[in-house]
Structure 1
Amino acid sequence: MDPDANLRAGDPERNAALDRLGRYFADGYLDIQEFDERTRRAAAAQTRGELAQLFVDLPVVPGVAASSELVAEAGAQGELDEVVRRNRRVQAIDGVIWSVTMITFFLGLFVLNWNYFWVVFPLAAFTSWGVRAVFRLDPEEEKVAKELAEKEKKERAERLRHAADKRTELGR
């Protein structure tokens, strides 16, 4: 018995199972009724064991991930989602830190005539570093999150371009 069978299944696991069922259906291993039944069960599954039961009578096919691979993939996807979430928080806090820094710098320089107005920059850099330490976001994770955000931005722009082309094509 799989020790993970009683663990709760989340959206990443259910989505991976639905993708896998779709590949089995496309390859002819499932007919339409079986596919419909299994996708309903996959969407309603609450544990990883329930998801694994959907594949016990299906052969291992190259290109179709096994249940253990799906769990590992879903875990990696969940970890990536967590890194992206932490990166977004860090970026938002950084925006506030550096906005306050610039306001303080210009107030100190021009309004209050501080002699040490420049000290706000090292303080802001230290604070920004501290935020990354608190959120446990290392430079490699930050780089991956940035690359993913850029990729999503490009994909969105492409979808919008495609939609605009379709709208033009339809004469709207």
Structure 2
Amino acid sequence: MANSPEMRASDADRDRVAAILREHTAQGRITMDEFNERLEQLYKSKTYGELAKLTTDLPDVDLRNLPVKASAAAPAQRGMHSGMKAAWSAWAVASGINWVIWLIVSLTSGDLIYPWPLWVMGPWGVILLLSSIFGNDHSKRS
């Protein structure tokens, strides 16, 4: 049964039209001011005919088949994954704190002491470096 213009629209129908309007705004067909005006009219609309008037000057958009954005399509091309970034950040923070402690101890003792932070950051850094270079790439497994 076809929906006649006089038939009442549901909240789901309004949400679908709102998504279409957002997509047209993202594609640059309508401005933010036009989007806001149409959105205001959208939530006042009661029938399919009133909803249809909001998009009559716009081409049809199939929200299920939108082109995939490059950033979502290839996360591996953007660099290392967030877990590895977090591991390198933790290494950098811990190394910085150890060097600050070493510096404070060296300054207060009046003599440069043995650079023991190298033993903290060295092995950990080597393991991280090897994991970054040869580690499992999540995009290759999926």
The TM tier, using the shorter chain, reads 0.3 to 0.5
Q: TM-score, normalised by structure 1?
A: 0.34
- Structure that is richer in helix per residue: 1
TM-score normalised per structure 2:
0.41
